[in-house]
Structure 1
């Protein structure tokens, strides 16, 4: 009986390390005028940014993954399309964005970081890596290209971006 319990525990523990589902679209919701549900085709019709040599680095400095080439859309362009609701310009300091994966992993970005800082020009939602559509890590991946530890906000299996206000 103990062996059976151990096997069940092991199976479910390993299974929980992987996302339960892939998201075929990205929902942009929350404090926006136009909630969006975007597919790869939608992103491909937007202003596509191409890049080379992006490394996913963990807190130990290890390179966990490398993109020789990638294609995606800037997060700020997606948010502009959804039209963030602001009652006054002073509210910009209270706005933040939560990127969430199908497995519950999250990364947070501030309004000023995305729209008023050069770092925002390197935060992308990718749909292609190394010349192919993304498959192993879901359909969409979010990267923050200027982070020192790029792995911390590398969101695989991206399913949603929620606009929130403090």
Structure 2
């Protein structure tokens, strides 16, 4: 439990790249954003093999974090060329386009997670994780130990 408390207190998410205001948000700042929940939810890899069943995940929308950077200030033609690269401490990455986050059902269910079944995330997932729950297969964009978001214009 002590390592979990230290891990949660050290949690930080850096948002960098082509945004008006780069951010570094700690867990308390993320928890101050509007909360959203998912579940029950079954997570499967690309092959369809079950990976996990979760009764409830809670966190904040990826779009709310991006909005906090002032991303919406960019001209619409620039926004349509933006991608978001989410990175975990293990080097795993998940990609999103601005269009799918802001112009499809995916955005409402792309969450930065900090709770699983009413408890803080475990050491396996890290203090922060990411899931794109509107995807057909949830495994490929279920990212553990989330520590960075980078916005890039193509």
TM-score for both structures, normalised by structure 2? 0.88
Distance 2:88 2:30 in 1: 18
- Tell me the alpha carbon deviations over residues 103-137 of structure 1, each in whole angstroms, 9 at most, x when there is no partner: 10000000010011121101000000011101221
Distance 1:54 1:43 in 2: 22
- Tell me the alpha carbon deviations over residues 50-80 of structure 1, each in whole angstroms, 9 at most, x when there is no partner: 2221222112211101221111000000000
- Tell me the alpha carbon deviations over residues 122-157 of structure 1, each in whole angstroms, 9 at most, x when there is no partner: 100000001110122111110001111110111111
Distance 2:98 2:74 in 1: 14
RMSD across aligned C-alpha pairs, in angstroms? 1.7
Aligned to 1:66: 53
Aligned to 1:84: 71
Distance 2:96 2:13 in 1: 17
**1:62–1:94 CA distance, 2 compared to 1 (3 A):** same
Distance 1:93 1:49 in 2: 25
Residues 31 and 85, structure 1, Cα contact 8 Å, conserved in 2: no
Distance 2:41 2:145 in 1: 18
Matched ranges for 1:1-166 at <5 A: 24-84=11-71, 88-136=75-123, 137-166=125-154
Offset at 1:89? 1.5
Distance 2:72 2:59 in 1: 25
Aligned length: 146
